[in-house]
Structure 1
């Protein structure tokens, strides 16, 4: 990557070397190969922050096991959000499958594997909820393969590590969907950037920090950046800019002169995992098992015991546990939170804080927890877990969105949101979950705002029909199951 040959003008500059920028850039180049696209990343390599394998759940969030996507309202389990998330993840699988079919992506088993997804709960009330969820989901074609049981012997087949040494009188219930996946988003991100560089002549420059994004009289935007190794500065021109810098996106968005940025704030939360060191225990569990978050705990605290495949090795993780750091990125600054406080977001920040006191209490408890406190949480899953077999690993930083609210001043959101200028020339992704799993769907929103003329051209429509068959389609049972089968074949699932 010879940075002395950086060109001065681009159609699209993507800020951030994660799964979002990789997906947007590659989709853009497939749709219109002559687009001039540049990706810049401030760290030494791509996929080192939120997209790194150890820094995210890797579940392939498809709503097969995550109970927070199925809230209970007036005695009924609502699965609308689960349907949406499931469809979004299938769109990601369709995009990856298209890359395989086009000969661009080799060996998909390097980043995706089949691992069954389970939900598991304790107690009569939770068991009743899980059964209601099962009875609702089994009637929808996206989830009709779901299984449910209260039989401990059946659960012993599904996840023996959890059932071992349980009291016979303990009430529990579980559901299972076999088609669940485990995804190494770090490996996938690096693969997508390699495709961009080798097949689409799209440069990816690391150690490049974007300092500002200003209106340009010539081409829309001037992107000011600096090489952190050489201190050389660059002023590049671009028709479109996408800010996909994880937790760093908010601070950069605040520098852009668009009114749509007003009122947004962020609250940083760091993550930790318990990681198993005992290979004998790791080999006893081949599943992703999600339970319910504690009463008053945020959705992101949903405990899960997960089989992972990282750097070619099978791993076993339990968590997540939360921590607090004022940094917006794992490799960020301790002044990030302070720098994000502006006149226009003080009211939303205060409002969100006041209306989320339980979250504050939860974070204080998490930050002050010892290794043995975390082991107690693990022992709710694995009764005889030995503290010596597990160690703490610090994962990534997430910045939850805070935005203006007419009634509460400000609200804390746990999803993702695309913020865009009116003309779509600047787009920015804020938020965290479900994040990487829905990258394709979220980047389609960005393309709709930035390049509608490309998406809706005759050529664009023809490509989209093959690349993501769900796009702009009425997803019925026949289409869903046909594409599910095709993706499974292409991705070796």
Structure 2
């Protein structure tokens, strides 16, 4: 006979950890289980070395605020992303104060966010972006400069050895940016859940999802050690399994997943732990993406703090594998194909030749050529100081579109059944940074009848819950200052 649980979370990443933390807090008596197919949690996209660790708040990422054909720039999406990240900060701050999370420095550290561009066209764009953001409350403190001496003060490695012919160049800087170790954060949240009686089971791979007549789900699994099968019956299932979420939602048979596909993009970093270099760079510096590059492949030179040690990363350099996860199957790309998603996927391929060209170019780069790309950011870079590090797999969403037939979508998307009994997350960046906002949205969609009961506690954990900060400057200042204090950050 199957074991019965109220909630089953599939996948041991930041999304499951966040949702589990919220649900266990809101419903202490609910029986919750977590299944992870690998030998430990936080080993795929949430692992610190598999992502950039950027606290994505649109402070430096240009792809959240593209220039329109008429030359205008609209800050709306950047503001929305920042609002979402503030909710993450608020929850993390509350969990630190309640003793759920360890000292903030174990998972989040103040790291200025910068954007650096060259050439008249991009400098003009960055200037317009700065003008559009400088008076927005959530972007308070943003600085802009075209002066090489000022930029050198902000990030010496950007300017050392740079030729005058590189001008014009420009940069923005926001001191309140953050570097986040999502692996450490995920592990701490799961440790807390285990302390509260949640079963976090590793080496367990979900194989089947069958809806029962009573609306529950019979979930078949196989233990990867010993290969023994089993099943569990769950009232609610969340699939937070990275790229494999698509495969599992397809197996569930819910009609809402029809038309979806994913395109896997891998990555690599150049990494240095050379103390002399690390000491000269404390920032996450983003620039414009290459032509045809997916948004997650925007080049950036980052300070990273992992397990208390600081290093620098540059990249990502795109790689290609048909696997949806680092530890996935080489057949993933082919076995996702269904009659209902074939046409949208083919249309995406036809409409994105630049992406194919970009990926081929990236795959042909050797170590020396990757260091040469780094020199566009850091002119004095030496190949001997940098080693190549494999990053995680990202599964970019492809979906049906009424006008274009099929589109390649940036960001994340929650797909859930009509009755709210099962939901899954598709997509990539800025997912981890906005996990709290995404999971709050999931709660509203899947547990609408419980929200009135849960709201008081949610407002305690996330003071701005149900409101936006940017239209209320005084409240925005108060909330960001309070979370900065609790998380030991720059306000």
TM-score (normalised: structure 1)? 0.96
Q: Is the 8 A contact 1:219 1:237 kept in 2?
A: no
Correspondence for 1:359: 355
Correspondence for 2:20: 25
Do residues 368 (structure 1) and 359 (structure 2) align? no
Correspondence for 1:205: 201
3-state DSSP of counterpart to 1:22:
helix
Correspondence for 1:306: 302
Q: How is 1:24-423 mapped onto 2 (pairs within 5 angstroms)? A: 24-73=19-68, 74-169=70-165, 170-198=167-195, 200-218=196-214, 220-423=216-419
Please state how far the C-alpha of 1:470 moved relative to its aligned partner: 2.2
Q: Is the 8 A contact 2:83 2:468 kept in 1?
A: no
Gapped regions of structure 1 (runs ≥ 5): 1-5
Q: Is the 8 A contact 1:31 1:455 kept in 2?
A: no
Q: Is the 8 A contact 1:15 1:244 kept in 2?
A: yes
Correspondence for 1:3: none
3-state DSSP of counterpart to 2:398:
strand
How many angstroms apart in 2 are the aligned matches of 1:311 and 1:60?
17
How many angstroms apart in 1 are the aligned matches of 2:335 and 2:291?
33
How large is the RMSD of aligned CA atoms in angstroms? 1.3
Q: Is the 8 A contact 2:117 2:287 kept in 1?
A: yes
Moved more, 356-365 or 460-469: 460-469
Do residues 465 (structure 1) and 459 (structure 2) align? yes
Q: Is the 8 A contact 2:35 2:202 kept in 1?
A: yes
How many angstroms apart in 2 are the aligned matches of 1:310 and 1:267?
29
Moved more, 146-155 or 279-288: 279-288
TM-score (normalised: structure 2)? 0.97
Q: Where in structure 1 do 4 or more consecutive aligned residues deviate above 4 Å?
A: none
How many angstroms apart in 2 are the aligned matches of 1:26 and 1:63?
26
Aligned residues: 485
Do residues 435 (structure 1) and 435 (structure 2) align? no
Please state how far the C-alpha of 1:72 moved relative to its aligned partner: 1.1
Moved more, 19-28 or 385-394: 385-394
3-state DSSP of counterpart to 1:72:
coil
Gapped regions of structure 2 (runs ≥ 5): none
How many angstroms apart in 2 are the aligned matches of 1:201 and 1:478?
40
Q: Is the 8 A contact 1:219 1:238 kept in 2?
A: no
Please state how far the C-alpha of 1:258 moved relative to its aligned partner: 1.1
Please state how far the C-alpha of 1:219 moved relative to its aligned partner: 5.2
Q: Is the 8 A contact 1:425 1:450 kept in 2?
A: yes
Q: Is the 8 A contact 2:215 2:421 kept in 1?
A: no
Q: Is the 8 A contact 2:100 2:189 kept in 1?
A: no
Please state how far the C-alpha of 1:355 moved relative to its aligned partner: 0.6
How many angstroms apart in 2 are the aligned matches of 1:412 and 1:470?
32
Q: Is the 8 A contact 1:423 1:449 kept in 2?
A: no
Q: Is the 8 A contact 2:273 2:310 kept in 1?
A: no
C-alpha spacing 1:7/1:220, structure 2 compared with 1 (3 Å)? closer
Please state how far the C-alpha of 1:257 moved relative to its aligned partner: 1.9
Moved more, 67-76 or 179-188: 67-76
Please state how far the C-alpha of 1:225 moved relative to its aligned partner: 0.7
What are the Cα deviations for residues 229-264 of structure 1, in whole angstroms up to 9, with x where unaligned?
A: 022211111111000000111111110121101111
How many angstroms apart in 1 are the aligned matches of 2:357 and 2:213?
49
What are the Cα deviations for residues 372-402 of structure 1, in whole angstroms up to 9, with x where unaligned?
A: 1111110101112111111111110011111
